[in-house]
Amino acid sequence: MDCLPNNSDNKTLKSLSSDRRLDSMDLKSNHTALVLADPAPLNKSTLRVSSGLLPYSGATLSQNLFLTVPTMKAGILDIRASNCLDSMESSSPPDKKSRDFNNDLESTDTDVAYCAWLLKYPSALASFDQITNPAKGKRIALFLDYDGTLSPIVDNPDCAFMSNDMRAAVKNVAQFFPTAIISGRSRDKVYEFVGLSELNYAGSHGMDIMGPVRQSFDDHSNCIRSTDNQGKEVNLFQPASEFLPMIDEVFNSLINNTKDIRGAKVENNKFCVSVHYRNVDEKDWTVVAQRVHDVIRNYPRLRLTHGRKVVEVRPVINWDKGKAVTFLLESLGLSNCEDVLPIYVGDDQTDEDAFKVLREGNCGYGILVSSVPKESNAFFSLKDPQEVMEFLKSLVVWKKTSTLCNK
């Protein structure tokens, strides 16, 4: 029998299982079970028990396990919320800086792992010729994610400013190549951060696209005419427009349901909502997962995706950043792979949809921004926004020299 340290206030898991939602199936299954120290709604004093090793006791969970848990009264985190918690953890590995700080030896291992990973996803800077050689005689179309790509990841999402140098690099590159920003943020917010009117913008993970007035745009349903910040006539494509009232409602519920979780932040991204847990103590992530599920369980037409210490609530529609890339290429008259080489640069899980479209269409390259090894549909990699900026600058130099040479 494996036990957690004894405590005078303890009850056993087994005794709880008789009158609570916890049952032997939860223990036997591969799913994570969560034992709570207080009646629902969940609060901070939670203990997570998985069917692997118990994180702090080192005890292995078995079918016969009797767990003693401090002041335990409530039930378990439901399986869907528990899956959400697993995704939260797997999409949030400790960053390189904190691992390096914790353990020099581990840091060396990490560097070795990163170098090995670079063999599979070579640096787009080191492999610059490999990227630009196939672009000879073609137009490069650039797609750029925002957070973690053009701006470094920071604790406060409202302060994710891009540097002036980066802005200048993006402005410059856009003079030579059609360029679009595709972000999970609301389109207005990302425009506020980038502030360059010469680009195309897609917000809400591509569910809110602003583009030039073109016939091909008009052909789509959910497409409306509007004006941009300069008063210029534009087309707006919003395939999830019917979800707007629902998203607003969910946003308000999420605010209410998470307001007592220290560090949690809910962001309205117009057609999707982000629940940030970057500043939430890790022991409270379970609470975040459960509260999000408490809200969205009433909305079967909404689903969850995971990003960098953020859970995103979005409509169940067949639309993502990959579809947005295809849409933009078509509506900008750039969909012929013989003439155009699309390049997509992004750092997050939702960017994988765009990498996949390029890889599967055998058309263009995805570039993953990451300082840690992770599996991706991208072809190349860049370590951080600084390297993204160098890459953008190199594209400009390449374009200028190749134009001169062709004269």
Ligand X SMILES: O=P(O)(O)OC[C@H]1O[C@H](O[C@H]2O[C@H](CO)[C@@H](O)[C@H](O)[C@H]2O)[C@H](O)[C@@H](O)[C@@H]1O
| Binding segment toward ligand X, per CB under 6 A, in 54-62, 73-81, 103-111, 140-148 | 140-148
- Out of 75, 178, 206, 307, which residue is the one contacting ligand X (CB under 6 A)? 307
| Under rule CB under 6 A, residue 306 binds ligand X | no
| Under rule CB under 6 A, residue 146 binds ligand X | yes
Query: Within 178-237, which residues bind ligand X (CB under 6 A)?
Result: 183-185
> Which of 161/176 has CB closer to ligand X?
161
Token representation of residue 406: 């062709």
What residues contact residue 338 under an 8 Å CB cut-off, 6+ apart?
138
DSSP-assigned beta bridge partners for residue 343: 142, 365
- Out of 74, 160, 174, 332, which residue is the one contacting ligand X (CB under 6 A)? 160
How far is C-alpha 276 from the geometric centre of its chain's CA atoms? 11
| Under rule CB under 6 A, residue 352 binds ligand X | no
Asked if residue 362 lies in contact with residue 356, where contact means CB atoms within 8 angstroms, the answer is: no
| Binding segment toward ligand X, per CB under 6 A, in 18-26, 148-156, 324-332, 360-368 | 148-156
| Binding segment toward ligand X, per CB under 6 A, in 3-11, 75-83, 151-159, 211-219 | 151-159
> Which of 294/352 has CB closer to ligand X?
352
- Residue 171 beta carbon to ligand X: minimum distance, rounded to whole angstroms: 18
- The DSSP secondary structure of 65-131, one letter per residue, reads ---EETT--S-B--HHHHHHHHHHHHT-PPPHHHHHHH-HHHHHHHHHHHHHHHHHS-BTTTTHHHH
| Under rule CB under 6 A, residue 385 binds ligand X | no
Please tell me the total number of residues recorded for the chain in this structure: 407
Bond preceding residue 55 cis, omega within 30 of 0: no
> Which of 78/267 has CB closer to ligand X?
267
Q: Please identify the residue of the shown chain whose CB is closest to the bound ligand X.
A: 184
* Phi/psi-derived region of residue 49, left when phi > 0, alpha when psi is between -120 and 50, beta in every other case: beta
CA 393-324-368 angle, to 5 degrees, is 45
| Binding segment toward ligand X, per CB under 6 A, in 69-77, 155-163, 329-337, 362-370 | 155-163
Strands (E), 192-329: 200-203, 208-212, 223-227, 233-237, 265-268, 273-276, 302-307, 310-315
| Under rule CB under 6 A, residue 290 binds ligand X | no
Binding site for ligand X (CB under 6 A): 145-148, 153-155, 157, 160, 183-185, 267, 269, 274, 276, 278, 307-310, 312, 348, 350
Q: Which residues are catalytic?
A: 145
